[in-house]
């Protein structure tokens, strides 16, 4: 029986998935535009939006992992549709289980701020609607029997390799130097942070659990903390004292968003920062048989920027 896995995207999730699979002895192909390498993994330089090339590469694989993350946050509507279509076609043509690295965007604002498995996708912002539609197409195809798919959603990442894409890791270089840091919109609202390694573990566990296919699951995630607490805990994990965490007022971010596309995108999703944003993963942990990495260890590895 095949134990070949194709991982699309060499960012922090894809790299962790590839390494975990290689460590257990699986044959792994890591796909990226730059041909990124990893120990024990075969690299492939490929534009994954090329459905024919991706299908040929995936032929014979047990699973295809969508760990891609468009580098330009403002260009999702240009990048995601052809890439999602290619991945869907590759899964349909080859029979590989398609495991998707999901986000919480499809849920949109939630009344009590707690996102649970089985909740409807109710986003109205363009990014949330796009990601919800991507999953809906896969879920419909799964029910129709044309492919097998599963999605694992995580909250904002912490852990190794996240870099400037994370709310905490974006501020860490200055914090580790003992400088005050500036948070966008809020710093004292409960917020879930998912270890990027736990997202990878969740994807692999979902592929290994046929009962989970056709559904959305949540990466195992520790109890929510505030951004201020996450930064303080991460500094403490490497023996550093806390630093002042100041907040950029909404008035300023709104005004700046008129001129800066990136801030304009962030402003549309301000509810993710100004209200509780809590990921509940208990049911997923039971289904997939995994627990979140202990918080102290998440913080320690996050500090290794």
Rounded to an integer, the average pLDDT of 238-264 is 83
Residue 258 has a pLDDT of 66
146/209 Cα distance (integer angstroms): 19
pLDDT over 90 (residue 7): yes
Closest C-alpha to 9, from 36, 38, 41, 40? 36
Q: CA end-to-end span of the chain, whole Å?
A: 39
214/88 Cα distance (integer angstroms): 13
Radius of gyration of the chain (CA): 19
In the beta sheet, which residues pair with residue 247?
183
In the beta sheet, which residues pair with residue 43?
30
SS3 annotation, the chain: CCCEEEEECCCHHHHHHHHHHHHCCCEEEEEECCCCCCCCCEEEECCCCCHHHHHHHHCCCCEEEECCCCCCHHHHHHHHHHHHHHHHHHHHHHCCEEEEEECCHHHCCCCCCEECCCCCCCCCCHHHHHHHHHHHHHHHHHHHCCCCEEEEECCEEECCCCHHHCCCCCCHHHHHCCCCEEEECCCCCCECEEEHHHHHHHHHHHHCCHHHCCCEEECCCCCCECHHHHHHHHHHHCCCCCCCEEEECHHHHHHHHCCCHHHHHHHHCCHHHHCCEEECCHHHHHHHCCCCCCHHHHHHHHCCC
pLDDT tens profile 201-211: 999 999 999 99
129/185 Cα distance (integer angstroms): 23
Residue 302 has a pLDDT of 97
Please answer whether residues 190 and 224 qualify as being in contact, where contact means their C-beta atoms are separated by less than 8 angstroms.
yes
44/227 Cα distance (integer angstroms): 37
pLDDT tens profile 47-86: 999 999 999 999 999 999 999 988 888 888 899 999 999 9
**pTM for the predicted model, two decimal places:** 0.95
299/76 Cα distance (integer angstroms): 30
Strands of 97-102's sheet, edge to edge? 42-45, 27-32, 4-8, 63-66, 97-102, 149-153, 216-218
Residue 165 has a pLDDT of 82
In the Cβ-directed half-sphere of 238, how many Cα atoms lie within 13 Å? 16
81/117 Cα distance (integer angstroms): 25
More confident residue, 223 or 165: 223
Closest C-alpha to 177, from 107, 263, 235? 235
* Matching residue, tokens 């694992």: 152
pLDDT over 80 (residue 114): yes
pLDDT tens profile 13-48: 999 999 999 999 999 999 999 988 888 999 999 999
pLDDT over 90 (residue 252): no
């Amino acid at each position: 029986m095949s134990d070949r896995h194709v991982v699309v995207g060499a960012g922090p999730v894809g790299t962790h998935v590839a390494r975990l699979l290689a460590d257990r002895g699986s044959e792994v192909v890591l796909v990226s535009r730059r041909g990124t390498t990893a120990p024990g993994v075969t690299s492939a330089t490929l534009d994954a939006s090329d459905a024919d090339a991706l299908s040929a590469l995936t032929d014979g694989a047990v699973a295809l992992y969508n760990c891609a993350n468009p580098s330009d946050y403002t260009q999702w509507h240009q990048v995601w549709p052809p890439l999602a279509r290619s991945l869907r076609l590759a899964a349909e043509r080859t029979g590989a289980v398609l495991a998707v690295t999901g986000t919480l965007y499809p849920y949109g604002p939630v009344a009590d701020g707690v996102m649970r498995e089985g909740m409807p996708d109710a986003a109205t912002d363009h990014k949330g609607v796009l990601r919800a539609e991507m999953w809906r197409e896969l879920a419909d195809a799964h029910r129709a029997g044309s492919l097998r798919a599963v999605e694992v959603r995580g909250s904002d990442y912490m852990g190794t390799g996240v870099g400037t894409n994370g709310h905490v890791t974006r501020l860490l270089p200055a914090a580790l130097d003992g400088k005050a840091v500036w948070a966008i919109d809020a710093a004292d609202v409960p917020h879930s942070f998912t270890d990027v390694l736990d997202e990878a573990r969740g994807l692999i566990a979902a592929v290994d659990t046929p009962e989970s296919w056709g559904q959305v699951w949540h990466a195992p995630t520790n109890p929510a903390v505030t951004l201020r607490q996450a930064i303080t805990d991460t500094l403490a994990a490497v023996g550093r004292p806390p630093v002042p965490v100041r907040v950029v007022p909404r008035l300023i971010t709104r005004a700046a968003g008129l001129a800066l596309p990136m801030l304009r995108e962030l402003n549309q999703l301000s509810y993710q920062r100004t209200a509780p944003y809590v990921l509940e993963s208990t049911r997923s942990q039971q289904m997939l048989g995994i627990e979140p990495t202990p918080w102290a260890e998440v913080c320690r590895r996050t500090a290794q920027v």
